[in-house]
Amino acid sequence: MKITTVFQFLILSIVFAGGVFAQSDFEVTKALAEKGDAKQQFGLGLLYYLGEGVPKDFSESLKWWKLSANQGNVDGMTGLQIIFSEGSPFENVRERLRWVKLSAEKGYAPSANLLASMYETGDGVPQNYMRAYVWYSVFAAQGGIFAPGDRDRIGSTLSPQDLSKAQALATKCFESNYKDCE
């Protein structure tokens, strides 16, 4: 699992769990998840993934995170990024990329950063510095502390013509609310 993905997951774990779950907390989370609450579906998947109050069960994590993600919940999408990442029992590069892109297009800053990094390194996608530049630009606009430096570093590797194209694509990406960035 890549460092950026691990970092995202740790943040989500802290945000949702915030501590040890009691059995009653699990039952409440499960009941709400079964009623279709996307946040609780993510939370239930997280509990199964971590084995918090229940035995670890990656199949259950996958089930609940898919339900959450399919409702547009970026936490659920991030869970799927984790479960489809390298070294997981459900490793699937295409599915990981799908959920990274979807959550980045919803404006989720950590996914914009992860997508930029994937394009920069060729992790699961063909290496593409122009797309890396675009997604680092998105992350920079969203407040990513190191993103301006990453964007500028990538920009310095591009020819003047490619840099101009990348800047135009970044503008198009912003104007389309992250829907037309590829």
pLDDT of residue 4: 52
Successive 10-residue mean pLDDT values, the chain, 182 residues: 49 49 74 94 91 89 96 93 87 93 93 94 94 96 93 97 96 93 86
104-109, long-range: CB < 8 A, 24+ apart: 104/135, 104/138, 104/178, 104/181, 105/178, 105/179, 105/181, 106/72, 106/74, 106/77, 106/178, 107/142, 107/177, 107/178, 108/74, 108/77, 108/78, 109/139, 109/142, 109/143, 109/144
Whole-angstrom Cα distance, residue 65 to residue 80? 6
CATH code of the domain covering residue 65: 1.25.40.10
pLDDT of residue 86: 80
pLDDT of residue 182: 83
Structurally, the chain folds into a number of domains equal to 2
pLDDT of residue 54: 87
Tokens 């390194």 belong to residue: 121
- Amino acid identity of residue 14, one-letter, is I
pLDDT of residue 14: 46
Looking at the fold, whether 97 and 12 belong to one and the same domain comes out as yes
pTM: 0.83
Looking at the fold, whether 24 and 87 belong to one and the same domain comes out as yes
Give the residue numbers spanning the domain of 165.
107-182
pLDDT of residue 1: 42
pLDDT of residue 71: 96
Looking at the fold, whether 89 and 114 belong to one and the same domain comes out as no
